[in-house]
């Protein structure tokens, strides 16, 4: 039995040798020096791959004239490798009128009647047309091609990821449910191997009605988050 | 530290024997093939007439290249019966056609045969052959062909116009291979500074000076490569110039180390570019220089980089041994003991397998080549029976890479020849294929021979290091015992104080000095800038402090 196994092994080796002789690629023969680095980073310390992330979000909508929209929410993410992942985040908003809107609301006017005298009993208050956002659910892919470290005042080194996000967002607005394209960018700073803080900028692009016509809106937001990687 | 100041000459007896005579080839071909009917081989005069007719018809545009090649190949069958000048003319014509057919290496083999056979290698008839060799040498690795030609012709002091003084490089290599050191040195010294081979010649010259124990002359030769004027005038491209400068820096680093000029040695090592082939060697060897120059923290930092995952496939048992030595001289006996344990644990099992392989009775270049081929083909370590790191390190030594490049180029051209034939004609490519087979076979044998030689050298190195490790271990035990008794063995030579100076020669403000964060990450840009913060633990220092 032992002899048979030996013979089989020798035959396999001979076959392998013959096969490689036939298919040998000159490129393999030429070779290159192993002294060249394979990857510029070895033994990466801060790892995300296949580690579910749970995070909290707090932020605000940008570029709003008459309302102020604060955002709070939850985020769930998962990276498939160190460069590519996906995340879902659900946010509720708190909408308050801006000082400008409040000032406008305090104004009182008697409407002008081009066909006759002004009716002194009718008083109107100006109010701009706003379409407040009350809830946002984002489903995004994340690409994180930049991983690096920053020297903080020569006292400490912090490790960071810079990434881009893209996907769809479902919004609940004054005008009803809207579906938007979501684009964004952000940076994550690691605190230990499990915790991280991050800052995200997002632009949700969707159509709404303004003065009776369809208009494209860019609802920009910035939020700060803290996340925990499990495993 | 073992310095490897050897020449990279690859002119081997095996290859030289491949430059076979046309006579032998013709006899072999005549036996193996039916004689073509179109050739009248009755006399040299008849063959001469036919050769002239073929050439006239081609030059006059009466026959195309394919037909001409067929006719020349048929004539080649009878080249043994031809007059010498006709044989030279035939080979030269075939070389020209092969260049046009897109087989530069094969063309250079034919051209070299023509030159070697010619009674006068500088006859005008051979100008196309020289031109082919010159053109091909700029784009393909045919150094072996040129060195064989250089070693077998006598120019009687004349120059080959197309090569100019560059030919002296090949002639110098041939002389060096034949042990004619003085002649080689003289030839290397005759190259013009604008020559393509000026830098390689200076390097070879330096190597020969080192072998002849003339370090000052070697230093001058190496500095000539780094001379800004020479760099400016060189026709080499930027990468080639940078590579040559790296070789010069590395050699100077070794040279200065040998002459105990450790500060200058580290400076030279640190000039080696990190993107080049020699960075690892420079990184490792500078650890020795730093240690000897009195910078153990930098030496250990260098070793930390050398033992990083970037180089996990490099077999270098000397690295943990040097680490053990540095710690030993700092009286850090536990760390020294750990480094010795690393040396044994990581390398001993691999070397045992290598020893088993080298102890085989039937060990020759052919079996070594099979092992090499299995390695590059990706056969698993288990099937190879030897650690991949050992085999890869041996297979990627400079001399191996050079010969692998030549062999790969031959194989590429050979497979093209098999697939396409010459001018689409496969039936008349047998002679050429036979030439290529012989060259490929010889190079294959050379790959095996060098591979085996490197493996044997690695084994010898390890045995030497093992003996040093044993000696160090005994010293370590004795030192530990003495330290317990409040004494310090070899106290006068131990390092009792480690300089806190971070910036050392060549490590100026323009570079970043990183203290290792010890978080396990290794960044490519940080290699070479690690500093291992250690203190001496010598009892002598403790007393002084008290």
For B383-413, the pLDDT digits (tens) are 999 999 999 999 999 889 989 999 999 999 9
Same domain, B426 and B533: no
Please judge whether A35 and B277 are an interchain contact, meaning their C-beta atoms are less than 8 angstroms apart: yes
Q: How many residues does chain A have?
A: 231
Output the pLDDT for position B487.
76
How far are the Cα atoms of B9, B312, B334 from residue B398, in angstroms, in the given order?
11, 19, 37
Q: Nearest-CA distance from B521 to chain A in Å?
A: 5
**Domain assignment present for B5:** no
Is a pLDDT exceeding 90 seen at residue A7? no
How far are the Cα atoms of A49, A110, B248, B402, B476 from residue B237, in angstroms, in the given order?
43, 84, 17, 19, 52
Instruction: Considering only the beta carbons, identify the residue of B309, B370, B376 that sits closest to A31.
Output: B376
The phi and psi torsions of A99 (rounded to 5 degrees) equal -60, -40
Output the pLDDT for position B4.
38
How many structural domains are present in chain A?
1
Query: Distance (Å, rounded) from C-alpha A63 to C-alpha A204?
Result: 13
DSSP, res B92: H
SS3 at position B427: coil
Output the pLDDT for position B544.
42
The domain that contains A223 carries what CATH number? Answer: 2.40.160.20
**pTM (predicted TM-score):** 0.81
Average pLDDT, chain B: 86
A156 and B CB contact within 8 Å: no
For B356-382, the pLDDT digits (tens) are 999 987 889 999 999 999 999 888 988
Output the pLDDT for position B324.
96
Q: Give the H/E segment covering residue A208.
A: strand A195-210
Instruction: Considering only the beta carbons, identify the residue of A28, A33, A42 that sits closest to B310.
Output: A42
Closest chain A CA to residue B443:
A29
Give the domain-ending residue among B133, B162, B191. B162
Please judge whether B310 and A38 are an interchain contact, meaning their C-beta atoms are less than 8 angstroms apart: yes
Q: Nearest-CA distance from A84 to chain B in Å?
A: 21
Same domain, B317 and B347: no
Same domain, B327 and B344: no
**Domain assignment present for A133:** yes
**Domain assignment present for B176:** no
How many structural domains are present in chain B?
3
Same domain, B270 and B350: no
* Domain encompassing residue B269: 260-331+488-546
Output the pLDDT for position B154.
87
Output the pLDDT for position B508.
54
For A161-202, the pLDDT digits (tens) are 999 999 999 999 999 999 999 999 999 999 988 999 999 999
Average pLDDT, chain A: 87
For B147-182, the pLDDT digits (tens) are 999 999 988 888 888 999 999 999 999 999 999 999
Closest chain B CA to residue A149:
B523
Output the pLDDT for position B386.
93
Task: Report chain B residues whose CB lies below 8 A from the CB of A31.
Answer: 376, 395-396, 401, 404
Closest chain B CA to residue A23:
B377
Please judge whether B308 and A26 are an interchain contact, meaning their C-beta atoms are less than 8 angstroms apart: no
**Domain assignment present for B198:** no
Same domain, B515 and B426: no
Q: Nearest-CA distance from A76 to chain B in Å?
A: 27
**Domain assignment present for B481:** no
Q: Nearest-CA distance from A9 to chain B in Å?
A: 10
A-B CB pairs within 8 A amount to 84
Closest chain B CA to residue A154:
B514
Task: Report chain A residues whose CB lies below 8 A from the CB of B405.
Answer: 30
Residue of A37, A151, A192 best to disrupt the B interface, most CBs of B under 10 A: A37
Kindly give, in sequence order, each residue whose CB lies less than 8 Å from that of residue B49, ignoring residues fewer than 6 positions away: none
The low-confidence residues of chain B, meaning pLDDT below 50, are 1-35, 37, 510-512, 541-546
């Amino acid at each position: 039995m032992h002899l048979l196994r030996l013979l089989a092994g020798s035959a396999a080796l001979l076959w392998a040798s013959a096969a490689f002789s036939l298919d040998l690629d000159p490129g393999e023969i030429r070779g290159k020096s192993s002294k060249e680095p394979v990857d510029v980073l070895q033994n990466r310390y801060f790892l995300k791959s296949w580690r579910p992330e749970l995070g909290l979000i707090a932020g605000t909508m940008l570029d709003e004239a008459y309302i102020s929209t604060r955002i709070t929410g939850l985020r769930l993410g998962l990276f498939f490798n160190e460069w590519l992942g996906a995340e879902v985040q659900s946010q509720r908003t708190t909408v308050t009128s801006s000082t400008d809107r409040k000032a406008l609301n305090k104004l009182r006017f008697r409407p002008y009647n081009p066909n006759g005298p002004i009716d002194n009993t009718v008083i109107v208050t100006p109010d701009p047309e706003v379409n407040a956002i009350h809830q946002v659910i984002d489903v995004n892919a994340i690409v994180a091609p930049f991983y690096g470290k920053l020297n903080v005042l020569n006292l400490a080194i912090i490790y960071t990821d810079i990434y881009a996000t893209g996907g769809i967002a479902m919004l609940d607005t004054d005008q009803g449910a809207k579906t938007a394209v979501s684009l964004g960018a952000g940076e994550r700073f690691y605190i230990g191997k499990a915790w991280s803080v991050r800052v995200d900028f997002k632009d949700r692009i969707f159509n709404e009605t303004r003065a009776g016509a369809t208009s494209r809106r860019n609802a920009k937001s910035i939020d700060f988050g803290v996340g925990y990687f499990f495993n | 530290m073992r310095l490897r100041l050897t020449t990279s000459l690859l002119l081997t007896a095996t290859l030289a024997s491949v430059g076979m005579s046309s006579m032998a080839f013709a006899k072999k071909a005549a036996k193996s093939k039916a004689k073509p009917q179109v050739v009248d081989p009755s006399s040299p005069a008849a063959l001469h007439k036919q050769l002239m007719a073929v050439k006239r018809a081609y030059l006059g545009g009466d026959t195309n290249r394919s037909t001409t090649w067929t006719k020349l190949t048929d004539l080649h069958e009878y080249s043994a019966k031809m007059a010498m000048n006709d044989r030279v003319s035939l080979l030269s014509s075939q070389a020209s056609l092969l260049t046009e057919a897109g087989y530069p290496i094969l063309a250079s083999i034919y051209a070299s045969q023509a030159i070697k056979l010619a009674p006068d290698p500088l006859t005008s008839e051979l100008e196309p052959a020289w031109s082919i060799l010159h053109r091909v040498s700029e784009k393909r690795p045919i150094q072996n062909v040129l060195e064989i030609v250089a070693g077998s012709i006598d120019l009687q002091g004349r120059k080959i116009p197309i090569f100019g003084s560059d030919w002296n490089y090949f002639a110098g290599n041939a002389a060096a291979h034949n042990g004619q050191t003085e002649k080689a040195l003289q030839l290397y010294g005759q190259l013009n500074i604008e020559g393509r081979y000026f830098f390689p010649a200076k390097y070879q010259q330096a190597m020969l000076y080192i072998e002849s124990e003339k370090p000052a002359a070697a230093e001058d030769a190496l500095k000539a490569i780094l001379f800004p004027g020479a760099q400016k005038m060189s026709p080499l491209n930027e990468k080639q110039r940078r590579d040559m400068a790296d070789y010069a820096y590395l050699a100077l680093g070794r040279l200065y180390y040998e002459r105990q000029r450790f500060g200058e040695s580290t400076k030279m090592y640190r000039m080696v570019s990190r993107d080049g082939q020699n960075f690892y060697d420079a990184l490792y060897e500078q650890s020795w220089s730093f240690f000897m120059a009195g910078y153990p923290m930098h030496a250990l930092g260098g070793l930390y980089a050398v033992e990083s995952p970037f180089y996990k496939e490099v077999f270098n048992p000397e690295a943990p041994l040097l680490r053990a030595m540095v710690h030993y001289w700092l009286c850090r006996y536990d760390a020294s003991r750990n480094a010795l344990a690393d040396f044994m644990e990581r390398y001993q099992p691999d070397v045992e397998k290598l020893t088993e392989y080298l102890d085989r009775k039937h060990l020759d270049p052919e079996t070594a080549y099979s092992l090499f081929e299995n390695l590059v083909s990706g056969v698993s370590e288990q099937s190879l029976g030897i650690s991949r790191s050992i085999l890869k390190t041996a297979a990627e030594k400079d001399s191996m890479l050079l010969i692998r490049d030549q062999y790969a180029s031959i194989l590429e051209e050979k497979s093209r020849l098999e697939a396409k034939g010459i001018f689409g004609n496969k039936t008349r490519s047998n002679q050429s294929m036979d030439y290529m087979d012989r060259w490929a076979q010889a190079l294959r044998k050379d790959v095996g021979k060098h591979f085996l030689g490197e493996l044997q050298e690695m084994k010898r190195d390890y045995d030497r290091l093992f003996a040093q490790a044993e000696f160090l271990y005994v010293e370590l035990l004795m030192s530990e015992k003495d330290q317990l008794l409040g004494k310090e063995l070899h106290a006068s030579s131990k390092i009792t104080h480690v300089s806190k100076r971070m910036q050392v020669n060549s490590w100026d403000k323009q570079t970043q000095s990183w203290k290792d964060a010890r978080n396990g990450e290794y960044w490519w840009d940080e290699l070479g800038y690690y500093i291992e913060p250690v203190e001496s633990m010598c009892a002598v220092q403790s007393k002084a402090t008290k």
